[in-house]
C-alpha cells in the first residue's frame, strides 16, 4: 500500500513497564501477558491516517536491551518519535524517566526534533496506582513532552497515543522543522500526491488536517 511518509518510532523505558505489550496491542490488537525477553518483538508496523495522509509507522522495541542500558546511538538518532514509558504502579519507573530523557537527548546527536510522548502505562491497575496523573502531566509540561496514560491490557488510549504523536511529527514537517535529507526518522513514501510540503511560515498552522 502506498504511503506519504514512513515514521520511525522507538519505545523506551524501564524493563517491565509494558513497552512490548503496547507495541503488540497497537500492531496486532492483542494482549499477551507473558513475554519471553529473548523473543521480544523487535519491531512492528502499522499504517495510520493523519488528515488524509497515510503514514506508515515502523516502531522499534528495545527487545530486552533496556535492562543493560546498552541502547545504541543509532537507535535514538534516526527516530522521528519516541514513546517514553513508565508504569503508574511502580514509582521507580517514573523516577527513571528523567535519566531516559537525558540519555535520549545526549545520544540523539543533533536530531533535536524527535517528538517525545511520555506514557504512563497500566492505567487499568487504578487500585495500585503509585504515580498520579497530575505528576505525569506536570513532568511532561516541564520537559516539553506530550503526555498520555494508557493500558496495554484494556487498550485504553493505545489507539490515540501513536496518531497523536504522529500528527505532531506531521506538523513539524509542515513547519519545515524536520530536515528530510538527514536521518530524521522520516522517509518520504511512494505516494507523491499526498506529501506534506513544508508551508511558508505564515501558513504553517494549516497543518496536516487539510
Ligand atoms: N495490568 C497490566 N499489565 C500490563 C500492562 N502492560 C503490560 N503489562 C504486564 O507487564 C509485564 C511487562 O510487560 P512487557 O510488555 O513485557 O514490558 P517491557 O519490558 O517494558 O517490554 C507483563 O507481565 C505484562 O503482562 C497493562 O497495561 N496493564
Ligand atoms: Mg519488552
CA-closest candidate to residue 134, choices 152, 155, 120, 153: 120
Q: Give the lowest-confidence range in 8-12, 37-41, 89-93, 184-188.
A: 37-41
Assess whether pLDDT exceeds 60 at residue 38. no
Which CATH number belongs to the domain containing residue 155 in this structure? 3.40.50.300
Determine the pLDDT at residue 209: 38
CA distance 90 to 106: 26
110 pLDDT band, cuts 50/70/90, is low
According to the per-residue pLDDT averaged within each range, which of 38-52, 68-82, 133-147 is highest?
Answer: 133-147
Report the SS3 class of residue 40.
Answer: coil
59 confidence band (pLDDT: 50, 70, 90): very high
Q: What is the pLDDT of residue 167?
A: 94
Q: Quote the CA–CA distance of 18 and 24 in Å, as a whole number.
A: 10
Q: Which atom of ligand 1 is nearest to the CA of 121?
A: 27
For 69-99, how does the pLDDT look when each residue is reduced to its tens digit (9 = 90+)?
767 777 787 899 999 999 999 999 999 999 9
Residue 109's region, left for phi above 0, alpha for psi from -120 to 50, else beta, is: left
Residue 146's domain spans which residues? 5-207
Cβ of 151 less than 6 Å from ligand 1: yes
pLDDT of residue 152: 96
Atom of ligand 1 nearest to the CA of 32: 25
Give the chain's domain count. 1
pLDDT band at 196 (very low <50, low <70, confident <90, very high): low
CA angle 77-81-84, nearest 5°? 95
Pocket test for ligand 1, best of 152, 155, 157, 158 (most atoms within 8 A of CB): 152
- Count CB atoms within 10 A of the CB of residue 194: 16
The span from the CA of 106 to the CA of 120, in Å, is 23
pLDDT one-digit tens code per residue, 168-182:
999 999 888 888 777
Query: Measured from the CB, is residue 174 less than 6 Å from ligand 1?
Result: no
Determine whether the shortest distance from the Cβ of 156 to ligand 1 is under 6 A: no
**How would you label 15-49 residue by residue, b for 16+ Cβ within 10 Å and e otherwise?**
eebbbbbbbbbbbeeebeeebeeeebbebbebebe
Nine cell digits for residue 10: 522507538
- pLDDT of 58 strictly over 60: yes
Taking the centre of ligand 2 as the mean of its atom positions, its distance from the CA of residue 23, in whole angstroms, is 9
Amino acid at each position: 500500500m502506498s504511503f506519504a511518509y514512513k515514521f520511525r518510532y522507538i519505545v523506551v523505558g524501564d524493563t517491565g513497564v509494558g513497552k512490548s505489550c503496547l507495541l503488540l496491542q497497537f500492531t496486532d490488537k492483542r494482549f499477551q501477558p507473558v513475554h519471553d525477553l529473548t523473543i521480544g518483538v523487535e519491531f512492528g508496523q502499522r499504517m495510520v491516517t493523519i488528515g488524509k495522509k497515510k503514514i506508515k509507522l515502523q516502531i522499534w522495541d528495545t527487545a530486552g536491551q533496556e535492562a543493560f542500558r546498552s541502547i545504541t546511538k543509532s537507535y535514538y538518532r534516526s527516530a522521528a518519535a519516541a514513546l517514553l514509558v513508565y508504569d503508574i504502579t511502580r514509582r521507580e519507573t517514573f523516577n527513571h524517566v528523567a535519566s531516559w530523557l537525558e540519555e535520549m537527548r545526549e545520544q540523539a546527536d543533533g536530531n533535536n526534533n524527535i517528538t517525545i510522548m511520555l506514557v504512563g502505562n497500566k492505567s487499568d491497575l487504578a487500585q495500585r496506582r503509585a504515580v498520579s496523573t497530575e505528576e505525569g502531566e506536570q513532568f511532561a509540561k516541564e520537559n516539553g513532552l506530550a503526555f498520555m496514560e494508557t493500558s496495554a491490557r484494556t487498550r485504553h488510549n493505545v489507539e490515540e497515543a501513536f496518531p497523536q504523536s504522529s500528527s505532531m511529527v506531521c506538523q513539524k514537517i509542515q513547519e519545515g522543522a524536520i530536515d528530510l535529507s538527514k536521518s530524521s526518522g522520516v522517509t518520504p513514501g511512494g505516494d507523491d500526491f499526498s506529501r506534506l510540503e513544508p508551508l511558508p511560515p505564515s501558513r504553517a498552522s494549516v497543518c496536516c488536517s487539510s
